[in-house]
């Protein structure tokens, strides 16, 4: 079973996340030749205060 993890900053709408999950599942099914119900998509929103880039916290 493919498990696809996405970590991102907060701010996307539920609809954007829903669209992402649908599209990434479609591509996984097409590429990996698996059933849609076997694909899990996990979206984790990480607050800016917990995300650093270039050694600096974003929040």
| pLDDT tens digits, 7-47 | 999 999 999 999 999 999 999 999 999 999 999 999 999 99
User: How would residue 6 be classed by pLDDT, with cut points 50, 70 and 90?
Assistant: very high
Choosing from 2, 10, 36, 47, the catalytic residue is 2
Give catalytic status of residue 2 as yes or no: yes
User: How would residue 5 be classed by pLDDT, with cut points 50, 70 and 90?
Assistant: very high
For residue 30, CA distances in Å to 37, 39, 47, 49 come to 13, 11, 33, 37
Is residue 4 a contact partner of residue 34, using CB atoms and an 8 Å limit?
A: no
Which pTM value belongs to this model?
Answer: 0.89
Which contiguous run of DSSP H or E holds residue 56?
A: strand 56-57
Say what the pLDDT of residue 13 is: 98
Say what the pLDDT of residue 54 is: 98
The second-level CATH assignment, the architecture, of 3-57 is 2-Layer Sandwich (3.30)
Euclidean distance between CA atoms 58 and 8, whole angstroms: 12
Question: Hey, what are 23's tokens?
Answer: 């599209």
The domain locations on the chain are: 3-57
């Amino acid at each position: 079973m493919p498990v696809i993890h996405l970590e991102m900053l907060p701010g996307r709408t539920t609809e954007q996340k829903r669209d992402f999950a649908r599209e990434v599942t479609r591509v996984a099914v097409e590429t990996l030749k698996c059933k849609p119900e076997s694909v899990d998509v996990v979206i984790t929103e990480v607050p800016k205060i917990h995300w650093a880039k270039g050694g600096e916290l974003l929040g």
